Amino acid sequence: MKKVLVLASLVLISGCVSNKTEIEPKAVGMANPASVYCEQIGGTLEIVDTAQGQVGYCILPSGEKVEEWALYRQKKH
């Protein structure tokens, strides 16, 4: 009887053990379209920290500094 009880206990305990490995979630890997557009037209990116968060600016080849999303929205699709 003791053997059956021990065996049953081991079966119950082994059922609680998991051999699953944790899988790390992969990054989306999707680029910011406004940043990509800035670089496509020859600009360089500048990220500025503000009290409200970060703001991206595109420095155009002419030297003009434009907020990257404003520039992207002006783009002719």
pLDDT digits (tens, 9 = 90+) for 52-63: 999 999 999 999
Mean pLDDT of the chain: 85
Computed from CA positions of residues 68, 70, 75, 77, in that sequence, does the dihedral angle turn out positive or negative? Answer: positive
Q: pTM surpassing 0.75?
A: no
Task: Quote the pLDDT of residue 48.
Answer: 96
Q: Is 20 helix (H, G, I), strand (E, B) or coil?
A: coil
CA 43/CA 64 separation, integer angstroms: 9
Q: Domain map of the chain by residue range?
A: 30-77
Task: Quote the pLDDT of residue 42.
Answer: 98
Note whether 58 and 45 are within 8 A (CB): yes
Task: Quote the pLDDT of residue 8.
Answer: 63
Note whether 60 and 43 are within 8 A (CB): yes
